[in-house]
Structure 1
Amino acid sequence: MARWRRTALVVAMLTLGGCGSVPAAAPVGAPAAPPGPAPTSAAPGASTTSGSPGASAAFNAADVMFLQMMVTHHGQGLDLVRLVPDRARRTEVTVLAAAIEVTQRAEQETMRGWLRDWGRPTEADPNAHAHADHGGLPVTGPEQIAALGSKTGAEFETAFLNLLIGHQHGAVEMARTELRSGTYPEARELARRIELSRTAQIDQMLKLVGQAGSAG
């Protein structure tokens, strides 16, 4: 499918869906809120301060870790979905991947903006031991992505969907950790949207895997 046609499909989908509920058959991607003014740093475990989010809200170590891990995780997801246009055969898979790319690029830029405002690195520490207290950093490795890139057609779609299901499950788990431990209101709201949208994407991908199996 030509690049302009994929873009038109995504624009049409987002126009129809807006920022509210999305029909069950449509891919789901949560729009990212723009970064607010830089908040005041808080000690780990501190609660949110009173007042409007952004201007007076505090963030803690859990917020920083969530954003750094999610930025890295989003980058892996973008590597996955960018394989789709030249390899998938079903329009539903192509449109889903294009919607995920648009959503995750916007979310990634928002999260990097918050981290830059806080004076923190915008990527997760690559040392796996640094994330032991947070359940580990979910990784879709370069070997898996390279192996996926060697497939086409139905074989590619099945492998892609199964890999992305596991990948998005990792995003759901990280979002739930942020909702338990984070304090920055906008990061918590982003985590809530990620939990909902990725859960819906997983449900949609499971249906697409089932449809492929039935067709075979």
Structure 2
Amino acid sequence: MTARRSMIRRAAAVAAAATAAVVLAACGGGNDSSAGHEGHGKSPSPSASAPASASASAKQGEHNAADVSFAKGMIPHHRQAVEMAELAETRAGSAEVKKLAAEIKKAQGPEIKTLSGWLTSWGEAVPTEEESGEHAGHSMSGMMTPEEMDKLQKSSGKAFDTAFLQMMVKHHEGAIEMAKTEQSNGAYRPARDMARAIITSQSAEIERMNKLFGKS
């Protein structure tokens, strides 16, 4: 009887030890599994999506059709203004008109280069000198016709001053209209910034020319 009890106790001890081992193994396995799941099942951190955000940010500098139209239109428009300003160097009678013309040439010459650079970088054709002539005059606001340019070329002194101021006011109003369209529809920030600068500077020059017109 005693031997039998001893065997029962021994069996119970072995069973208890086996149970404890199973429990410990389960606990250990649970920890490992938990750690492994945490490492693999974790959702991507915000930093993982950073490249996509950077890509979206870069797209903000892209251009659209309105930007291309603005550049292609403003180049011939500016070229004609520079041509008119160059005529004033030898034909204007007023020193104030000559000064204004020189300022217009100085401002718009570099803008032509900038606009041309944008078109080239976008894979677009830069308008040729021929496209800045008669055809452009029919398609853009404020452009002088060949007849008007011929009249300006043949005048001098006070007659030139009067014709130049009248034509340049009209020319500037056309440029402002084009710039406002770019500000409303354009996507390329540098182009929109240039449009804003054109509106500001040429509006001020229109006021100045209207005052000079009264003196001419």
Normalising to structure 2: TM-score of the pair? Answer: 0.67
SS at structure 1 position matched to 2:123: coil
Residues 1-216 of structure 1: matches in 2 within 5 Å? 50=57, 57-123=61-127, 136-138=139-141, 139-212=143-216
Tell me by how many angstroms 1:179 deviates: 0.3
CA deviation string 1:104-154 (max 9, x = no partner)? 11000000001001110112895xxx99xxxx4122122211111111111
What residue ranges of structure 1 are gaps of 5+ in the alignment?
Answer: 1-48
Whole-Å Cα distance in 2 between the matches of residues 56 and 65 of structure 1? 19
Displacement of 1:56: 5.8
Partners of 1:78 and 1:104 within 8 A in 2 = yes
The letter for the 2-side match of 1:194 is I
Distance 1:116 1:87 in 2: 35
Higher normalized helix content (fraction of residues): 2
Residues 79, 145 of structure 1: 8 Å contact kept? no
Letter aligned with residue 163 of structure 2: A
Q: TM-score, normalised by structure 1?
A: 0.67
Q: Quick check: which has more Rg, 1 or 2?
A: 2
Alpha-carbon RMSD = 2.2
Specify every segment of 5 or more residues in structure 2 that has no aligned partner in the other structure, as ranges: 1-55
Give aligned-pair identity as a percent.
Answer: 38
Using the TM superposition, give the Cα deviation of residue 50 of structure 1 relative to its aligned residue in structure 2, in angstroms: 2.7
Alpha-carbon distance between aligned partners in 2 of 1:198 and 1:148, rounded to the nearest angstrom: 21
Distance in 2, Cα, partners of 1:75 & 1:96: 16
Q: Which amino acid aligns with 2:140?
A: L
Give 1:79 deviation, angstroms: 1.3
Give structure 1 regions of 4+ aligned residues with deviation exceeding 2 angstroms: none
